[in-house]
Amino acid sequence: MRIAILSDTHGLLRPQVAELLETADAILHGGDINKPEIVEQLRRYAPLYIVRGNNDKDWARDIPHHLTVTLGGLNFYLVHNRKDVPTHLEGADIVVFGHSHKYLQEEKEGILWLNPGSCGPRRFHQEITLMLAEIRDGQIQVEKVLIPHGVK
């Protein structure tokens, strides 16, 4: 199973990102979508699991604040801001979050924490990134995808 993990698109779905989504079996989005059109575009590629970010206003009121989903035998917990993850998170193998626009992949106390960074408009002089993950036999391999910031 191939999963595209992205966050903080802030109203921009770059052509390079859309091209990568064509190979995804599922898409996880960590919030700050900013426009309902982005949700519609993402749903064209693969099943979409999405949470609302702090910049997602009234149009996103039906998008959950947090979400738990099982893909490829692994339990994912999605939330926009890492500080909103419950202290005692039970049953999660992987936490996906965004908000900081900073790429992060770390294992802590048996849980894999993933922040794909931002693949929307470049902000704060950060890299433009997302993740592609492959799940096989209950194991996940995560690849960082860097999009050159000179490319729109």
Q: Are 135 and 71 in contact (CB under 8 A)?
A: yes
Mean residue pLDDT across the chain: 94
Domain boundaries along the sequence of the chain: 2-147
Taking alpha carbons only, the member of 110, 108, 115, 105 closest to residue 141 is 105
Quick: pLDDT tens for 104-143.
999 999 999 999 999 998 876 789 999 999 999 999 999 9
Q: What's the pTM value of the predicted model, to 2 decimals?
A: 0.95
pLDDT value of position 150? 66
The fold for domain 2-147 equals Purple Acid Phosphatase; chain A, domain 2 (3.60.21)
pLDDT value of position 148? 86
Taking alpha carbons only, the member of 134, 51, 149, 143 closest to residue 96 is 51
In Å, what is the CA distance from 65 to each residue of 21, 47, 68? 23, 18, 11
